[in-house]
Amino acid sequence: MTPYKLFISTILGASIAGCVTSAQAKDKEADKLVFDPAGAKPAVMTMPSGEEVRYTAYENIFYVTNIEDSVYQTLNIYVPETLNRGDSTPIFLRTYIGGYMATTAKSPSASDATGRALKEGYVVCIPGSRGANTTITRDGKTIYTGIAPNGLLDLKAAIRYLRYNDNVIPGSAERIIIDGTSAGGAMSALVGATGDRPEYDEYLLKMGAARTSDKVFASVCYCPITDLNHADMEYEWLYGCTNTGVRHLDAEQIKISNELSAECPSYINSLCLKDDSGNLITADNYKEYLKTFLIASAHKALEEGCEIPDTIGIVRYAEKPNFGAFPARGGNGDGRGAPSFGPAGMRPRFNNNTDFVSDIDLDKYLSYVASVTPLKTPPAFDQYGVLIDTPTPENNVFGNSEGTPANFTDFSLRHRLHDNSVTLDKDMVNRVFIMNPMNFIFENSASVAQYWFIRHGAKDRDTSFLVPINLATKLKNSGFDVNFFLPWNRPHSGDYNLDDLFGWIESISDR
Ligand code: DHB
**Which domains, and CATH codes, for the chain?**
3-223+493-509 (3.40.50.1820), 229-442 (3.40.50.1820)
Looking at residue 106, its pLDDT comes to 98
Atom of ligand 1 nearest to the CA of 98: 11
pTM value?
Answer: 0.90
pLDDT on residue 15: 41
Sequence-distant (≥ 6) Cβ neighbours of residue 5 within 8 angstroms: none
Question: Which residues sit opposite 92 in a β-bridge?
Answer: 124, 177
Indicate if ligand 1 lies below 6 Å from the C-beta of 460. Answer: no
Contacts of 299 (CB under 8 A, 6+ apart): 337, 338, 347, 348, 356, 357
Helix (H) or strand (E) holding 22: helix 22-25
Task: Give the atom of ligand 1 at the shortest distance from the alpha carbon of 101.
Answer: 11
- What 3-state DSSP class applies to 130? coil
CA of 210 to the centre of ligand 1 (A): 30
Q: Judge contact between 75 and 36, C-beta under 8 A.
A: no
Query: Cα(24) to centroid of ligand 1, in Å?
Result: 39
Euclidean distance between CA atoms 500 and 486, whole angstroms: 13
Angle of helix 466-477 relative to helix 286-303, nearest 10 degrees, comes to 100
* Distance from the alpha carbon of residue 504 to the mean position of ligand 1, in angstroms: 26
Q: Which DSSP category does 138 fall into? A: E
How many Cβ atoms are within 10 Å of 345's Cβ, its own excluded? 11
Report the relative pairing of strands 135-138 and 451-455 from DSSP bridges. Answer: unpaired
* Number of Cβ within a 10 Å radius of residue 147: 24
What is the predicted pLDDT for the residue at 317? 81
Give yes or no for residue 182 CB within 6 A of ligand 1.
yes
Mutational test site, ligand 1, from 181, 223, 225, max ligand atoms within 8 Å of CB: 225
Give the model's pLDDT for residue 326.
Answer: 39
Which parts of the chain sit beneath pLDDT 70? Answer: 1-27, 318-355
CA separation for the pair 477, 441 (Å, rounded): 10
462 lines ligand 1 (CB under 6 A): yes
